[in-house]
Amino acid sequence: MRRLEGQVALVTGASMGMGKAIARALAAEGASVAITARGEDLLRQAADEIRSAGVDVLDCPADVSDPASVETMVGAVLEHFGRIDLLVNNAGVNLPHRSLSDITVEGWQTTVGINLSGPFLCTRAVLPAMRAQGRGTIVNVSSFSGKRPSVHAGVAYSASKAALNSFTESINLEERRNGIRACLVVPGEVNTPHVEKRLHPPSPEARAAMLQPEDVAAAVVFVATMPERATVEELIIRPTVLRNRDDDARAVAST
């Protein structure tokens, strides 16, 4: 029997990269999957791919930084499946102008809105259903930049991920009594389409040595399949070989 048979998972930012890999991995374990992202076309394509595992997949476009959009999306998931057992807050963003000297107010608000307000809004929206069930797992995908701020990650991204770490701890403090557990998954550098948008994109060789999206997906599956009596509060996963990021820092500092 697949380990998540009969469960329903909601994955944000699931149209590509880590989110799509996580949704695929959960589906392969038997979970019914709802996926959400802002881009409808890519989201629909991802849903079609994930259905190849023979599970029920619902694609619900939404902007996780918008409260009304999140409420509508979660309502559609509950109407379709009747429950939500696992929420993976994976949606995230970073912008090209990310240093203190060039980030705009709008850039700060966009980054914090998706990376921090998004997990808050999605968590708040699913909690009533999880409390009624008496169980639920929430996985917040953070970044090593939330542990150790870096120039290449930028001020808003690093700050939003650091705050996400604290938010995850707050979920456990308040919701354990309701049978709800939360885990912070902290990946190091991951080879996703977003690395192509950096001011100093890494080489193909460097990308091959990074974590791959399926590595992060395996970590999420591990957390989700632990017995309900056990909470993995934090899971750090980093590349075995850590590359020199000085070029990245110089590229950001020179802009």
Euclidean distance between CA atoms 54 and 34, whole angstroms: 14
Euclidean distance between CA atoms 109 and 52, whole angstroms: 37
Beta carbons of 97 and 51 less than 8 angstroms apart:
no
Q: Which of 108, 144, 157, 167 is catalytic?
A: 157
Euclidean distance between CA atoms 168 and 40, whole angstroms: 29
Is 109 part of the annotated catalytic residue set?
no
Beta carbons of 37 and 91 less than 8 angstroms apart:
yes
Euclidean distance between CA atoms 199 and 201, whole angstroms: 6
Q: Is 139 exposed, middle or buried (0-12, 13-18, 19+ CB in 10 A)?
A: buried
Euclidean distance between CA atoms 134 and 128, whole angstroms: 10
Q: Which residue in this structure is represented by tokens 């998954």?
A: 185
Beta carbons of 30 and 2 less than 8 angstroms apart:
yes
Residues acting as catalytic residues? 157
